[in-house]
């Protein structure tokens, strides 16, 4: 089955710096890669996703890149702000049979210091 | 348009009791997923249901855990004879009934935090 590795487990940056979180997946059939942000005690919230027919996607300060050959994808946050502090989870799934079974990474705890 | 609703938000049970967790998907959504999150860990897939059907329960423990999504009413995750190791946050997510990959975004509920004493 699918396995997702996520690095680093913790990341500390100064406000205004960039943050990069990397994930690798094992199942080459996976075709959907969302990223979720989870604040303490809150629900995971989708911040960006990418499908396997796209190599890069950007939404304001957030971008995601996908390398299907190497089976890895990354989240890039530019101009970080203290409110970006949270746990970020990557996930991978293969859309099959009309549904996605998301396999999550272990998470990255991002701390943005003013 | 209300989001995914879960109740209770917090549930305390003693070992051996039963826990019932409820999830109401977003309006118009007919696909429900349940995930479990242990402290300081990622979310683990448990089960995927459509109305009146369990489609994929590959992540459900073989014993004590069951799920349903009746024609009317919320989806229920039921844990019988709870043990301390069941303490976790249980999240449900819903997605619309379309078949295109682009429509398969999952929206998460606020979760139920189960504590077993």
Per-residue pLDDT of A58-91, as tens digits, reads 999 999 999 999 999 999 999 999 999 999 999 9
Residue among A83, A90, A87 at smallest CA distance from A108: A87
Residue A98, pLDDT score: 72
Q: What is the pLDDT of residues B75-99, one digit of tens each?
A: 999 999 999 999 999 999 998 876 6
**Minimum Cα–Cα distance from A89: chain B residue:** B42
Residue B96, pLDDT score: 81
3-state secondary structure chain A: CCCEEEECCEEEEECCCCEEEEEEECCCCCCEEEEEEECCCCCCEEEEEEECCCCEEEECCEEEEEECCCCEEEEEECCCCHHHCEEEEEEEECCECCECCCEECCCEEEEEEC
Taking the CB of residue B9, how many other CB atoms lie within 10 A of it? 11
Residue B101, pLDDT score: 56
pLDDT confidence bin for A14, thresholds 50/70/90: very high
**Could you tell me if B49 and B68 are in contact, meaning their C-beta atoms sit under 8 angstroms apart?**
yes
Q: Is B44 on the interface with A (CB under 8 A)?
A: yes
pLDDT confidence bin for B68, thresholds 50/70/90: very high
Q: What is the pLDDT of residues A38-58, one digit of tens each?
A: 999 899 999 999 988 788 999
State yes or no: pLDDT of B105 exceeds 70.
yes
State yes or no: pLDDT of B102 exceeds 60.
no
> Considering CB atoms only, which of A34, A44, A102 is closest to B45?
A102
Q: How far apart are the first and last CA of chain B?
A: 37
Average pLDDT over residues A8-23: 97
Residues of B in contact with A46 (CB under 8 A): 105-107
Cβ distance of B101 and A43 shorter than 8 Å: no
Pick A48 or B104 by higher pLDDT: A48
Pick A34 or B103 by higher pLDDT: A34
> Considering CB atoms only, which of B42, B55, B110 is closest to A105?
B42
State yes or no: pLDDT of A31 exceeds 60.
yes
Residues of A in contact with B45 (CB under 8 A): 101-103
A residues 31-60 lying closer than 8 A (beta carbon) to B: 31-32, 34, 36, 42-46, 49, 51
């Amino acid at each position: 089955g699918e396995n997702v590795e996520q690095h680093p487990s913790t990341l500390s940056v100064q406000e205004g710096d960039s943050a990069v979180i990397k994930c690798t997946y094992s199942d080459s059939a996976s075709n959907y890669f969302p990223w979720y942000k989870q604040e303490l005690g809150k629900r995971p919230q989708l911040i960006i996703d990418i499908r396997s027919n796209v190599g890069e996607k950007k939404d304001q300060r957030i971008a995601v890149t996908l390398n299907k050959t190497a089976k890895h994808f990354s989240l890039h946050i530019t101009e970080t702000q203290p409110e970006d502090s949270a746990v970020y989870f990557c996930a991978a799934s293969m859309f099959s049979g009309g549904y996605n079974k998301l396999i999550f990474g272990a998470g990255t705890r991002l701390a943005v210091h003013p | 348009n209300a989001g995914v609703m879960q109740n209770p938000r917090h549930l305390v049970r003693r070992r051996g009791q039963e826990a019932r967790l409820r999830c109401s998907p977003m309006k118009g959504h007919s696909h429900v997923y349940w995930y479990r999150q242990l402290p300081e860990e990622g979310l683990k897939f448990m089960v995927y249901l459509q109305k009146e059907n369990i489609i994929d329960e590959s992540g459900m423990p073989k014993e004590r855990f069951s799920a349903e999504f009746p024609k009317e009413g919320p989806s229920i995750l039921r844990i019988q004879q709870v043990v301390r190791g069941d303490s976790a946050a249980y999240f449900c997510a819903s997605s619309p009934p379309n078949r295109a990959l682009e429509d398969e975004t999952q929206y998460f509920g606020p979760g139920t935090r189960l504590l077993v004493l």
